[in-house]
Amino acid sequence: IPKREADRNIPALVIELKWNKDAQTALEQIKEKHYTESLEDYCGNIILVGINYDKATKEHSCIIEQIKKSS
């Protein structure tokens, strides 16, 4: 968790990793389980990253979404 006084130009990252599902499911889990609530006092932007790794193909997929917080 970034410090409250951290530089507002540095975003906080919230990352969820899934295996054999999809990156959208990982991103939805971040939102549904309210992972960003612990960052409500953080003044900078928040980046959500959903990643999936497919064990069979050994490939990954990733979705990145930014939440802009008003100052």
Q: How confident is the model at residue 11 (pLDDT cuts 50, 70, 90)?
A: confident
Q: What pTM, to 2 d.p., does this model score?
A: 0.82
Is 7 within the bounds of a domain?
Answer: no
Q: What is the pLDDT of residue 3?
A: 62
Closest residue by Cα to residue 30 from 43, 12, 48, 18: 48
Q: Is residue 26 part of a domain?
A: yes
Structural domain of residue 41, as residue ranges? Answer: 12-63
Whether 5 maps to a domain, the answer reads: no
Query: Is there a domain that residue 44 lies in?
Result: yes
- The answer to the question of residue 6 being in a domain is no
Domain count, the chain: 1
Query: Tokens for 23?
Result: 């990156």
Mean of pLDDT values over 40-54? 91
The mean per-residue pLDDT over the stretch 31-60 comes to 92
Look at residue 71 and tell me whether its pLDDT is greater than 60: no
In a domain? residue 21: yes
